[in-house]
Structure 1
Amino acid sequence: MSASLGKVLYLVTEPFLKETSELIGFSLKASRRNPICSVGSSLLNCQRLYRSCPTHGIGRFRHLLVPQPPKVKKKNQAQMKPIVPETEHNYGSLNIVMTSCNMPVVEKYAQYVHRFCNRMSVKVEECYAMPTKTMEVFLMQAQGVKYEMDFVLTTHQRVVQISGLSATLAPIFLEILQTHQPEGVHLSVKKYTEEDYQVRLKARPELEELRARFK
């Protein structure tokens, strides 16, 4: 029993030993060719044959495209949004104008008006700030003609433009805005016109003169 078992084991292990010896010999040859190869990876051949075969632009397609002229970037000119017309039951475009000498107060109130419009499902077209205006106040002496500057008054203005305010909701809407109006803030509501948009643009008298000449 033991003799037969020994023969079987020898027959099975003999081809395995031959394969391992061949693999070890192959790895030694590869390591001699290129010393960078690792000893453990016997099946790895480190010769980089692809370096001797250039690709000659394989996979490149840009040279096949028709050359196009460079795009000229156009300056984004401000355009006026279309005015929403009023209907029998809804108002059109309205401007809620808030003016005050205290900038933090008018800014907080403008944020409150914006949030309140969102809660009441009133569409807010845009919310913007107008340029700050300064006013010099002069004081005249009791006896004399000279004027002396007393102080400089600065006014800040914020505008919330809305549209689609229903006629039934308008009285309640305006009453709530007036009840939460802080001291020192002037509140007014008016229809949005093209003049209100032109006021936002910077005045250029030189350009207006040139336009008047060529008309």
Structure 2
Amino acid sequence: MYSAQTQTHHQTSIIYEPEYLDHLSPEIPLYDQVNVYLKGYDYPVLESYQKYVHKVAASLDIDSGEGWALPPQKLEITRTEPNSSIVDATYHLNIYKRNLQVVDIPSTVMPIFIEAIQAGLPEGVDLEVQVHTELHDEERHVPDLELKELEIKLEELGGPRDVKPIKRK
């Protein structure tokens, strides 16, 4: 008796790619440090939005470094009566500023990050994305005017003097 046997052959193919091809693929450039500046009139809204930006950065695997508040800018706005210089009302406004610094963002992820945070931008909040510079560090630190005045007075009096500590027994 003759029985027909069917045989199936599976061919596996191995593709050989030389290792130097991996080195030819372009590296994705990174943004070193980027500041996300938020500016608005309502501090709780601004702080809540900063949390949102931080969560978006975390969901895109972006390392959010530091976040800080900047000193508020105080404005006094006067409204005058029509066709006169008589002051009708005076308004005092504060412009609050927050900053979130993100580091090492791939250039392919940056547009997605910006679109995502723009999509959730609340009313009355301004958004700026800037590359970090030394000027931003100077803006961050608030000068202590009273301390500077005391240092000037000390220099006028002849500077600090060396005082030996008294040893007590």
- Is residue 138 of structure 1 aligned with residue 97 of structure 2? no
**Which contiguous aligned blocks of 4+ residues in structure 1 show a shift greater than 3 angstroms?**
146-149, 204-210
Q: Percent identity?
A: 27
Deviation digits for residues 47-89 of structure 1 (CA, Å, limit 9, x no counterpart):
xxxxxxxxxxxxxxxxxxxxxxxxxxxxxxxxxxxxxxxx971
CA gap 1:149/1:182 in 2 versus in 1, 3 angstroms: same
- Is residue 98 of structure 1 aligned with residue 38 of structure 2? yes
CA gap 1:138/1:177 in 2 versus in 1, 3 angstroms: same
Q: Distance in 2 between matches of 1:204 and 1:99?
A: 24
Query: Normalized against structure 2, the TM-score is what?
Result: 0.65
1:95 is paired with a residue whose SS is strand
1:168 is paired with a residue whose SS is coil
What is the aligned partner in structure 2 of residue 199 from structure 1? Answer: 139
What is the aligned partner in structure 1 of residue 117 from structure 2? Answer: 177
Deviation digits for residues 8-58 of structure 1 (CA, Å, limit 9, x no counterpart):
xxxxxxxxxxxxxxxxxxxxxxxxxxxxxxxxxxxxxxxxxxxxxxxxxxx
1:196, CA displacement in angstroms? 1.2
What is the aligned partner in structure 2 of residue 156 from structure 1? Answer: 96
1:112, CA displacement in angstroms? 0.9
One-letter code of the match for 1:144? S
1:146, CA displacement in angstroms? 3.7
What is the aligned partner in structure 1 of residue 29 from structure 2? Answer: 89
One-letter code of the match for 1:133? Q
Q: Higher helix proportion, which one?
A: 1
What is the aligned partner in structure 1 of residue 57 from structure 2? Answer: 117
Q: Distance in 1 between matches of 2:66 and 2:90?
A: 37
Q: Higher strand proportion, which one?
A: 2
1:93 is paired with a residue whose SS is strand
Return the structure number with greater relative CO, CA threshold 8 A, min gap 6.
Answer: 2
1:97, CA displacement in angstroms? 0.8
1:107, CA displacement in angstroms? 1.0
Is the CA contact (8 Å cut-off) linking 1:136 and 1:149 kept in structure 2?
no
CA gap 1:149/1:200 in 2 versus in 1, 3 angstroms: farther
Is the CA contact (8 Å cut-off) linking 1:130 and 1:200 kept in structure 2?
yes
Deviation digits for residues 108-156 of structure 1 (CA, Å, limit 9, x no counterpart):
1100111221121111110111122221111122243344543111222
Query: Normalized against structure 1, the TM-score is what?
Result: 0.52
1:105, CA displacement in angstroms? 1.2
One-letter code of the match for 1:110? Q
Q: Distance in 2 between matches of 1:127 and 1:204?
A: 21
Q: How many residues align?
A: 126
Q: Is there any run of 5+ residues in structure 2 with no aligned partner, and where?
A: 1-26, 156-169
User: Which is greater in Rg?
Assistant: 1
